[in-house]
Structure 1
Amino acid sequence: MKNFSNKDLETLSSIIGSRRDVRGNNFINKKVSNKKLKIILESALKAPSVGYSQPWRFKLIKEDTKKQEIYNHFKKSYEKSKKKFEDRPLYKTLKLEGIKESYINIAVFYKNDKKEILGQTYMKRSGEYSVVCAICNMWLTARALNIGLGWVSIIKPKKIKKILEVPKEYKLIGYLCIGYTKEFLEEPELKTLGWEKEKSLKECILK
């Protein structure tokens, strides 16, 4: 296996630092080719997984009617969530999804295997964490292709499974919106708006 150069590291660091959560006010009406979608999905397959279980599964959603159903559910969940942020008026102004505007939605699931998984006997949710690693690969690969990706989390997993007619042995981990964007912001939007301050490495290290 090859060794990587400092230039490779710089490129990787640039992609990581340029990753953004893209929302509906930035997606544009442009098709993402099947070739590039395949590259994004295949990058997920290269993620680490506990016990080499590879528990990720994907549901691709292109149909406008199905997107509308998902959006209708999101809207109800979003309205309910406003109560939790009544002391932060900024919340009501945020665009928090791109379900209808993005070219394709991808629901990412964890496949619950009934057999014992190596490395999962004590940390039962480590299989789900493996799926999160797969999503991270997709996010970075999409950015390297200059394609936007947004993660929608103000939804109820059981409701999404019902809409998508997914069997009970699958658990929703992430609902992703993917498509070309008019721009990638220089800074994360929530940082720019002052929703939260960026934490330093020192703040993140436990003593």
Structure 2
Amino acid sequence: MKRLLVVRFLVLLLLIATSAHAGSMRCGTYLVANGDTKADVLLKCGEPVAQSEHQEQLREGIDQAQEVRTTFVFNDWVYNFGPDRFMQIVTFMNGRVADIRSGSYGYAVNGSVDMCRDGQLLKAGDTAAEVELKCGAPVNRESRADSVIDKIDTHSSLKRTIAIEEWTYNFGPKKLILNLRFENGRLVKTETGGYGY
């Protein structure tokens, strides 16, 4: 009986330990986890190397005298811990950590390694902040916002504002122009044009 209690206790400790690290990241001796505020993350990790933002709005009470709108603000913060570790993307929803995911490998601060390779190292889902860190600022940047309204039921809908950015990179006369499309700060489309100038 005593052995069974010890086994249960050890299993419980293991479950607690693994759940504490799910959706978390380390900044030195500090642990950042879901639910932490932006201020918590800034104190634990310092300023991110890049960040982006988009919004979504939930509308309830459609076709009634009163309508309630709830806005959700999403921020992506990118942390670079060097070339031997993956960059970490912390997503906040209304100022609190909602998700933490690994990006591509980080880079040395001196920037001696070409992290862009004319766009070949970019992949769908990269954040705009990651792309700018890898490739630098584009030569042209166009922005607009589209709205999509999804009906949930007869009295509510979700209005999503899609922030669209189109970036152009010119890597010189012997390389192709690179055109990128981002939706809500995430890379969704990569195209090449003619030769640069």
Tell me which interval the TM-score lies in, with the shorter structure as reference length.
under 0.3
Higher-Rg structure is 2
Greater relative contact order (Cα 8 A, min sep 6): structure 1 or 2?
1
Higher helix share: 1
Q: TM-score, normalised by structure 1?
A: 0.21
TM-score after normalising by structure 2? 0.22
| Greater strand proportion | 2
